[in-house]
Amino acid sequence: MPALLTVISADDQSKQIIELSYKLGRLLNYEPLITTCNDRELCLKKQLESENYEVSGSEKDFFQVISAWLENPLPDISLIIVPQTVVNINKTYKATRFFSGCRMLKVPYLILPEKVNVSWHPRHIFFPVCTRDGEKEASTWAGSWTKANNSEITILHPEFRCKENQRSLWRLLVFIQRLFDNSNVPYQTIIAGTRKKETNNKALEEAKKTPDSLLIVPATRLNSPEYIFTGPPEIRLLKNRGNTPVLFVNPRHDMYVPCS
């Protein structure tokens, strides 16, 4: 059975995150697994166990914890839930290191908002398609989550002025639409501007104003020297996404793909 791994620390809304993880596990038919990180003397683990939560504990940092879980063939970790405090988006250097470390993951990771809403349900999924690396991999997750949660999904895409770019986009959209049609996933498409930036901004805007929304995007493939000063695009997205959870999918050929 696929498993959903949630990593929490003493700085998080632990109980709310655990309850949400249990809920998502039921919706996706994943086994929820909870572990602490940076848990000095395992104080958080002991506190949660005293309240009848089943929790593993570790004094190691986030990446050491998930690496240990992923190196073990059992359980079958298929998704990681990450509280926003772990990312530390207000400190560009630390957030950049976080996303750099996440590029090794073969499973997607869901970053929760700062204020965790236990009643959140991914009723409306927004999926911007702009010919970026990883959008094919992300489309399988968009379709899987839509089907599993009986959600609505909106594909947003630009209409490029450059004919070659538009042909590449058209081929990608045909692939995604066939994937959804073959999986009986209903969807709607929206043309959002003529540039990638306009499409991404529109997806962000629609997700922010729609209750119970989820944004699914591919993560940045490579590091860039400019990220030392600006950080990767993921930081700006998280700073402007309001209370919308974001599912990041790495553009990897060996990426874990869900069964439809």
Given a cut of 70, whether residue 179 has pLDDT beyond it is yes
E strands, the chain, in order:
2-8, 31-36, 76-82, 109-111, 124-128, 152-157, 188-191, 213-218, 246-249
Predicted confidence (pLDDT) per residue in 119-152, tens digit: 999 999 999 999 998 999 899 999 999 998 899 9
Encoded amino acid at 81, one letter: I
pLDDT given for residue 256 in this prediction: 58
Cβ neighbour number for residue 222 with a 10 Å cutoff: 10
Q: What is the pLDDT of residue 227?
A: 61
Higher pLDDT: 225 or 143? It is: 143
Tens digit of pLDDT for each residue in 65-123? 999 999 888 889 999 999 999 998 888 888 888 998 898 898 999 999 989 999 999 99
Read off φ and ψ for residue 117, nearest 5 degrees: -105, 110
- pLDDT surpassing 80 at residue 216: yes
- Please state the rounded mean pLDDT for residues 142-170: 94
Predicted pLDDT of residue 12: 84
CB 247 within 8 A of CB 127: no
Q: What is the pLDDT of residue 17?
A: 95
Residue 259 is predicted with a pLDDT of 56
Question: What's the whole-model pTM score?
Answer: 0.93
Cis, bond preceding 75 (omega within 30 deg of 0):
yes
Q: 241-259 pLDDT, tens per residue?
A: 999 999 999 887 666 567 5
Q: Who wins on pLDDT, 178 or 94?
A: 178
Structure-block tokens of residue 62: 């986030």
**What is the tens place of the pLDDT at every residue in 8-58?**
998 889 999 999 999 999 999 999 999 999 999 999 999 999 999 999 999
Q: Does 187 score more than 90 pLDDT? A: yes
| Chain position carrying tokens 């969807």 | 187
Predicted confidence band at 222 (pLDDT cuts at 50, 70, 90)? low
The pLDDT score that the predictor gives to residue 92 is 86
pLDDT at 233: 87
Return the number of other C-beta atoms located less than 10 Å from residue 73's C-beta: 7
Pair type for strands 124-128 and 109-111: unpaired
Residue 1: what pLDDT?
Answer: 85
pLDDT reading at 223 higher than 70: no
pLDDT of residue 257: 62
Q: Which of 198, 244, 241, 238 is nearest to 220 (CA)?
A: 238
Q: Which of 118, 186, 182 is nearest to 150 (CA)?
A: 186
How many CB atoms within 10 Å of residue 170? Answer: 13
